[in-house]
Structure 1
Amino acid sequence: MDEFLAARMQMAVSLGFHIVFACIGMVMPWFMFVAEWKWLRTKNPVYLDLAKAWAKGVAIFFAVGAVSGTVLSFELGMLWPTFMQHAGPIFGMPFSWEGTAFFVEAIALGLFLYGWKRLNKWVHLYTGMVVGISGVLSGIFVVSANAWMNAPSGFDWIDGQAFNIDPVKAMFNKAWFSQAHHMTIAAFSATGFAVAGVHAVLYMKNKLEIHAKAITIALAFASVAAVLQPISGDLAAKNVAKLQPAKLAAFESHFKTEERASLIIGGIPDVENREVKYAIKLPGFLSFLAHGDFNAEVKGLEEFPEEEWPPVPITHYSFQLMVGIGMFLMLIAALFFAGTYKWKHWFEKKWWLRLLAIATPLGFIAVEAGWVVTEVGRQPWIIYGIMKTKDSLTPMPGIQYTFYTITAVYVILTFVVTWLLSRQIQLLQSKYLKNG
């Protein structure tokens, strides 16, 4: 493995693990907030136990997310020093605001965890809301920094140097809004279905009220997010078509510029012959996806130098996987809404609980696929159209060893987190089973 591949793999592994921890850290506080709110409204102690159990999970993921996020920050400077030399003064603002949101979240979480009998009950409840708001804002600020890499702005690039820097314009670049809402909605969908799936598995083993209520709360968030996600995805795709047409072409393995371009479902890209085999084609739908017009022209990869093409197969497969899972989760959301308003007896059926169990990892698989699309689809650029990734690589030797070390650390960390969560679940289970 050469140094360049090792550096990219290290960033991929670090981001791949962190994104899961970050999504859960953004969304779980809202679950614990709703559970406590339901307890205050109904006085049902099950909701109180659920809020406390979820709060412990939030604390675990907050700590792990802080560690993994810090590692990513160091890796930007360690692996890509040329990038940080030029980019740091331009897109540093969202990172500073992310740090502020993180500190507010830490303070609010401390008050929530240790203020159960020390704070006014409503004050305590709204500290949970502050945790949730801060977590979401933290994620949005980080995504804004990534969006700047896809749509660089807020500076003039002259002879390899940045001049006339405007950090505010850089932060609110042309990609930040579409990426931010798409990522935030994806976090709620992925986390909601994962939490619902875990509790569905537990409910199949022991039909405890706490699991039934947990499933309902988690699915309410997840289902709304799953329905909104295609709308968000459509807006994001139109933005990509405008700002990064080569990336959009790689999504769909769209090689030739044409009007009334077909949307491709499935298929195997043949880059050498510039075609897609065994695909289902929907004429005009790619034009509509990109420009809102079934007859609009969509640029193909042929419009760009081949050395500036993203890796087409992996971008295409990741995009297809993301969209496919999104459609499946939207179907589950539709079933949840139908059951809520008309066929509530569905929720006790084994087929429904098994369906939720199957969905447990799918949201996070879609999130990972989406980040592959975003990051791999931007290649070969680290700053789109400005600086290539290979030109930013550190001259430091031995990156392979840091890659192996970081990977091992994250695998161990995942086992530790899994053990901690399993322990919390067992304690909760034993309490209810003991009480009958």
Structure 2
Amino acid sequence: MIQPNNSDKTQLDALITQGMPHWQISNSLGESYKEQRQRFLLKRLQLQAQIMLISGLTLIAFFLWVNSQIEGKIYAFKIGFIVELFILICWALCKTSIGQRHPDLIFLSLCWSVTCVVQIDIALLFNNLEPRSNIWTLMFLTQATIIPVQWWMHLISQIGTIICYFILYILYNPVLKNISAFYVEQGLYFFWTCIICVFSVYLYERLQKNEFNARKAMEVAQQKSERLLLNILPEMIAEQLKQQPTTIADSFHEVTVLFADIVGFTELSTRTSPAELVDLLNRIFCLFDQLAERHGVEKIKTIGDAYMAVAGLPNQSNNHAIAIANMALDMQNAVNKFNAANNQSFCIRIGISTGPVVAGVIGLKKFAYDLWGDTVNIASRMESHGIAGSIQVCEASYQLLKDKYLLEERGLIKVKGKGEMMTYILKGVFSEEL
């Protein structure tokens, strides 16, 4: 008794994940949200550094202009020069491997180069420790606007600024008028500025993450539908249907059609459960599908335990008969190996015919790519009138294969609707010029 293999992929999984290499679905499905955020962060850090460099130069020029005393001009230049130097270093680090690995450190450095460095410079030069809340507010609002990601980085930058100020306050211990009222007012102002910046960044990033996940889910669904469509229809036909959803019918002057039937499968169905029967048939046909892909053959359909394939369409080729012959021989070998591995005794009967066909998609629902014409009928008759375990070919196929394959003349057989036809049995390859 054959036990279903639960580890095998389901039919839908196979339709989605197997096929042409350029449609393979990756587990990651492109970059992750973390990778996208990292790339966004680096670009915005460089943008912020450039804006800060330009604005810093304008502020230096302004303070040099408004200060009438030489000493004031020197102080303004010193502070501006140091800040600009820090910003320039941060901007350069964004382009290095260090910046790419640790953009959060660049973020904090950019913030503190304006808030902390300015505060320290003013304390050292003027012994003045009034909080520069206007500079802090401008810096935090700028970062929340330009780099609205990773709210915790914004919070750390704000806390770091406060800690820096308190350390300086302890060291210098300045005396201010109305110190309590001053610090309460400044504290409330600064507190709500920080809360608004951090909370707005948190909401924005949450929105962006949800949007990213929704977009990825849509891409996954679209990619799966594309893969499913390409496993039902040839790629060329699928593209035609998407661009112009009308009846598709193309004539092909010469192709080679293959029909294969599993001998004894009907008898097996009477003594095997439906689930086991379907599992067995699926495993065999999956082997055939792999062979079709390997030999560049287009699978058309399965009808019960019959398998139909064609070579030479929709992409026309000159070696269609050779591709089908190679596939037919490999199908026999695959069934033999399957029998040995599963303790079975199946054999297949294959029929091959070469000639003109019409191929296309008709109808409004449940599209299927199909073939019509006398060549299809003859291939079906070659299979049904064939010998179990053999590959029977018609005269037209024989003429294309006789120089490279070992074919044995079977003789004239009576074919329904065609009368007597000369047929041959494909035995194997006798030439290595393939």
TM-score w.r.t. length of structure 2: 0.23
Higher fraction of strand: 2
TM-score w.r.t. length of structure 1: 0.23
Q: Which structure is richer in relative contact order (CA contacts within 8 A, separation 6 or more)?
A: 1
Higher fraction of helix: 1
